Amino acid sequence: DEELDAARYAEVAEDLEPDQVALLLESLPRDERQECWEQVPEEQRVDVLVEMRAEARAPLVKELDSRTLDQLISGLDAETLIELGESLPDDVVDIALARMDERQRAHYERSAQYDEDAIGRYVDHDLLILPQNSRVRDAERLLRREVPEYTTHLWLVDRTGRYTGAVPTLSLFGKPDHLPLVDLIDDEIEPLSALRSLKEATEAFEHAEISALPVVDENGLLLGRMSMRLALELLHEQYESQMMASAGLDEEEDLFAPVMRSSRRRATWLGINLLTAFLASWAIGLFEGTLQQVVALAVLMPVVASMGGIAGSQTLTLMIRGLALGQITAANMMPLLRKELSVGGLNGVLWAVVIGIVASWWFSSFAIGVVIALAIVVNIAVAALSGVLIPILLDKLKIDPALSGSVILTTVTDVVGFVVFLGLGSLFLL
């Protein structure tokens, strides 16, 4: 591992892409980050800010003096302002808009109408557009100028700006000058609707054999394009945010967020989990008398809870993937439940025997072995059942099972595990 601090920054910065500078800045504690930021060349600053997480970006923007901020916001294009928007004070956004050229401002206003999860918000406007009655010679003239990255097609529109078709640039080679472009349209390319979600955009790229797709609004108006490169970035963010959410964290969370703010945010998740822990305690509390007489039960409680929790989360994880891929339907729910119950049954019996033997030997009591073995079988079966049903239920309620499934599942396996184990203990050991 190399040390990356403000002093070394100057040496390495020249070779770094804006997203790498952003990662480096985010890895520094906030005071060092500020120092290092001041060494980023002015012409790179906007690109670096765009790549940073909102929470790490905001304080850097706040510290800018008005002259620098001024330079930074003059000449912003629509995409960049959309991306930076949430970190800029409203009045700065207004100034930036006032300074934009009219076309970019129109782009901005159209994009800003779409919400955070809609494709329309993230279109870029670097695309080559021609009227639908253009000919091969018009296309060739356009292509002789500088072309935007990922350009593989020209886009045709009618007089009102409605999308009419895509012409592969390579199809132009060897074609006569006067041939109408409509004769070269590739019918297999379907434009994306601006209202569709980002997830649908990444799916579209898995089928479309093209590196940038046209995006149209509800009326068929060509708004811009979305590149596969952006889809790759969005997929990355989507997974990162899912991983963070499963621990009650936000994707924008800064590694060096201020202690107070970070504590406050995490407190909520701890609070929710505390409630579930108290629920488990309450279940145990029902059997205080039994515990007092057979203290071995208290010692073995974590084994029962843990085995249920682990078996359940294996089923849950399989279900979460299946739901994400659209593979769980009303038709296969019952066979799936049967299969998971069988797997749970087999593993339940196997580990019940192992645990039963260990517990009997440990506490020199055959009865304790039998009690924990029964509790393990029941709890692993309940875990399989919950692992299948909880995510299906959450999905029906439009709650992401990847987010809250695990908390609910372990609450169920904890409570059921404790009640069954201590309940059987009360019956057979007193």
> Closest separation between CB of residue 382 and a copy of itself, Å?
15
> Closest separation between CB of residue 139 and a copy of itself, Å?
9
- List 12, 243, 357, 427, residue binding a copy of itself (CB under 8 A): 243
**Applying CB under 8 A, which part among 42-50, 106-114, 159-167, 276-284 lies near a copy of itself?**
276-284
- 96 token code pair: 């930036």
> Closest separation between CB of residue 396 and a copy of itself, Å?
9
**Applying CB under 8 A, which part among 62-70, 77-85, 215-223, 349-357 lies near a copy of itself?**
349-357
Radius of gyration of the chain (CA): 30
Q: Does 350 bind a copy of itself (CB under 8 A)?
A: yes
**Applying CB under 8 A, which part among 41-49, 61-69, 99-107, 208-216 lies near a copy of itself?**
208-216
User: Which residues between 83 and 112 bind a copy of itself (CB under 8 A)?
Assistant: none
Q: How far apart are CA 60 and CA 69, in angstroms?
A: 11
> Closest separation between CB of residue 259 and a copy of itself, Å?
4
Q: Which residue has the tokens 């889809």?
A: 231
Amino acid letter, residue 88: L
Q: How far apart are CA 17 and CA 48, in angstroms?
A: 8
- List 10, 12, 106, 299, residue binding a copy of itself (CB under 8 A): 299
> Closest separation between CB of residue 311 and a copy of itself, Å?
6
Q: Are 321 and 314 in contact (CB under 8 A)?
A: no
* Beta strands across the sheet bearing 129-131: 129-131, 153-157, 163-168
CA distances from 3 to 7, 21, 275 (A): 10, 14, 42
User: Which residues between 125 and 144 bind a copy of itself (CB under 8 A)?
Assistant: 140, 143-144
**Applying CB under 8 A, which part among 71-79, 89-97, 114-122, 228-236 lies near a copy of itself?**
228-236
Helix, strand, or coil (residue 197): strand
Q: Are 279 and 411 in contact (CB under 8 A)?
A: yes
CA distances from 274 to 53, 244, 267, 268 (A): 30, 19, 10, 10
**Short-list 123, 213, 214, CA closest to 162:** 214
Q: Does 61 bind a copy of itself (CB under 8 A)?
A: no
User: Which residues between 12 and 31 bind a copy of itself (CB under 8 A)?
Assistant: 17, 19, 23, 26-29
User: Which residues between 165 and 204 bind a copy of itself (CB under 8 A)?
Assistant: 169-170, 172-174, 202
In this complex, which beta carbon is closest to a copy of itself, that of residue 54 or of residue 291? 291
- List 13, 255, 370, 393, residue binding a copy of itself (CB under 8 A): 255
Q: How far apart are CA 156 and CA 137, in angstroms?
A: 14
In this complex, which beta carbon is closest to a copy of itself, that of residue 226 or of residue 303? 303
Binding mask 316-335 for a copy of itself (x = CB under 8 A): xxx-xxx--xxxxxxxx--x
Q: Does 250 bind a copy of itself (CB under 8 A)?
A: no
- List 87, 132, 313, 386, residue binding a copy of itself (CB under 8 A): 313
Q: Does 291 bind a copy of itself (CB under 8 A)?
A: yes
Q: Are 410 and 276 in contact (CB under 8 A)?
A: yes
Q: Are 227 and 124 in contact (CB under 8 A)?
A: yes
CA distances from 49 to 58, 59, 68, 308, 359 (A): 9, 11, 13, 46, 59
- List 207, 218, 219, 364, residue binding a copy of itself (CB under 8 A): 207
- The 8-class DSSP code of residue 221 comes to B
> Closest separation between CB of residue 398 and a copy of itself, Å?
13
Q: Which helix (H) or strand (E) holds 418?
A: helix 401-429
The gap from C-alpha 168 to its chain's centroid, in whole angstroms, comes to: 33
Amino acid letter, residue 189: I
Torsion, Cα 393 395 400 405, to 10 degrees, reads 30
Q: Does 357 bind a copy of itself (CB under 8 A)?
A: no
- List 99, 256, 374, 399, residue binding a copy of itself (CB under 8 A): 256
Binding mask 383-412 for a copy of itself (x = CB under 8 A): ------------------------------
Give the length of the chain. 430
Q: Does 259 bind a copy of itself (CB under 8 A)?
A: yes
> Closest separation between CB of residue 363 and a copy of itself, Å?
9
